[in-house]
Amino acid sequence: MSAVAAVVALVLLWVVVPPPVAAAASAPARRRRRGRAGPLETAHMVEQLATVIGAGSGLRQAWAALARALPEGELQEMARGAAAGADPRRAAPERLRGSELVASLGTALAVCERTGAPTAGILQQLAEALRALHDAAQARRSAFAGPRSTARILLALPVAGLGLGIVLGGDPLHLLLTSPAGNLLGAAGIALTALGWWWMRRLLTRADPPRRHRVDPSVQLELIAGALESGLPLPRAVAAVAEALPPGEEAAALQRVAAALGAGVPAALAGGALPEELSALARSAVLAEGTGADLAGVLRAAARDARRGRARDAEVLAAQLAVRLVLPTGLALLPAFVALGIVPTVMSLLGGTVGLSVPTGAGP
């Protein structure tokens, strides 16, 4: 019995203790103590790099100045490596090497090197984009915090049923383990709980999928706009960004679009090869092709709109998720609660009553 109570207590603790996201307020202080770099620290470093370059320093001299000014930690280590001539994506510590932040910075510097775009201006735009992406990510985490907490609580319902039975004076676990009817109820309850866990996990993953981008699509649009402002035509600007991106589907798609545009294919047809996240590039190119509008400005506006829309999209998806969680609750977890908690408790209590009344009535 004590083992069951311990299991129930652990499950309740898992439900009550907030997930790591709730402790995010103290994360910046911990990062400062350990020298770990977060999105805001990285954005501030990129802005400082842009300021130093804008004052007339070369890239390596600017990195060296940052290495002297930055506090000891991951960013200072990356700055020292970059000051020695290494690509920031290779100079960064292991934890940052594959991150979106460092990939975006390395891609931006590579685009400047290939196109001659003003490094200070590109980095300033990148710093603003990184801050906006951080704000959007925070808004998304806040929007999904409620549905995720609800899912955690609902998943504890079946075990809570066992605890409720024990509190009421029954012995549901003994009945589940020792009787054929209890075995059947236990198997059904476990199967329904597993179904509810899988169903809820699938709903959460579909509503809030993990990020697949090494460099955010809005940052890619900003970099194409910077290459256009340096005087390159659209096909060469797109090709330059594609070559600077880490290898992957998006880089390959941009290379195909650049080749099609360079061959004279209309933007409406060439843009068909782009993924949905970069569809703004095709729409902006069609607009500029038909009207002569400033394509760089249109792309920057599309990038800003994409970042602003993420918080609103997250709120809508979180609200839809809260409604959809009713299905696994009603069809899987509540029946599991009944099968593991209510029915065995009632059976054990009735069985105990019968067992006590028979000897009393049989006496002389």
- Domain of residue 75, residue span: 39-127
Closest C-alpha among 227, 158, 157, 206 to residue 186 = 158
Same domain, 120 and 196: no
| Domain count of the fold of the chain | 2
| Under 8 Å between Cβ of 119 and 50 | yes
Q: Which of 127, 158, 183 is the last residue of a domain?
A: 127
Question: Largest Cα–Cα distance in the chain?
Answer: 109
Report d(CA 347, CA 292) in Å as an integer. 79
Tokens of 242: 């594609």
Q: Does residue 184 lie in a domain region? A: yes
Same domain, 96 and 166: no
Tokens of 186: 């236990």
Q: Does residue 160 lie in a domain region? A: yes
Same domain, 122 and 174: no
Q: How far is CA 175 from CA 163, 193, 205, in A?
A: 14, 19, 37
Same domain, 237 and 298: yes
Tokens of 98: 């594959």
Q: So what's the pLDDT on residue 61?
A: 92
Report d(CA 13, CA 31) in Å as an integer. 27
Q: Does residue 358 lie in a domain region? A: no
Question: Taking the alpha carbons of 302, 305, 311, 312 in that order, is the dihedral positive or negative?
Answer: negative
Tokens of 355: 């067992």
Q: Does residue 159 lie in a domain region? A: yes
Same domain, 152 and 113: no
Q: Does residue 101 lie in a domain region? A: yes
| Under 8 Å between Cβ of 330 and 155 | no
Same domain, 83 and 140: no
Q: Which of 127, 156, 187 is the last residue of a domain?
A: 127
Q: Does residue 33 lie in a domain region? A: no
Taking the whole predicted model, whether its pTM rises above 0.85 is answered as: no
pLDDT digits (tens, 9 = 90+) for 242-299: 999 988 888 898 999 999 988 888 888 888 878 888 888 888 888 887 777 788 888 9
pLDDT digits (tens, 9 = 90+) for 185-217: 889 989 999 999 999 999 888 887 766 657 889
Same domain, 79 and 228: no
Same domain, 274 and 179: yes
Q: So what's the pLDDT on residue 26?
A: 45
Measured in whole angstroms, the distance separating CA 32 from the mean position of its chain's CA atoms is 23
Q: So what's the pLDDT on residue 286?
A: 86
DSSP 8-state assignment for residue 331: I
Q: Which stretches in the chain have pLDDT values below 50?
A: 1-33, 352-364
Same domain, 279 and 326: yes
Q: Is 350 helix (H, G, I), strand (E, B) or coil?
A: helix
Name the amino acid, one letter, at 351. Answer: G
Q: Does residue 185 lie in a domain region? A: yes
Q: Which of 80, 109, 127 is the last residue of a domain?
A: 127
Same domain, 278 and 182: yes
Closest C-alpha among 251, 224, 221 to residue 235 = 224
Tokens of 267: 């933007």
Question: Taking the alpha carbons of 80, 82, 86, 90 in that order, is the dihedral positive or negative?
Answer: positive
Q: Does residue 4 lie in a domain region? A: no
Q: So what's the pLDDT on residue 35?
A: 59
DSSP state string for 92-150: S-HHHHTSHHHHHHHHHHHHHHHH---HHHHHHHHHHHHHHHHHHHHHHHHHHHHHHHH
Matching residue, tokens 């955010």 = 216
Same domain, 199 and 283: yes
Same domain, 64 and 173: no
| Under 8 Å between Cβ of 165 and 336 | no
Q: So what's the pLDDT on residue 32?
A: 46
Question: Taking the alpha carbons of 61, 66, 69, 72 in that order, is the dihedral positive or negative?
Answer: negative
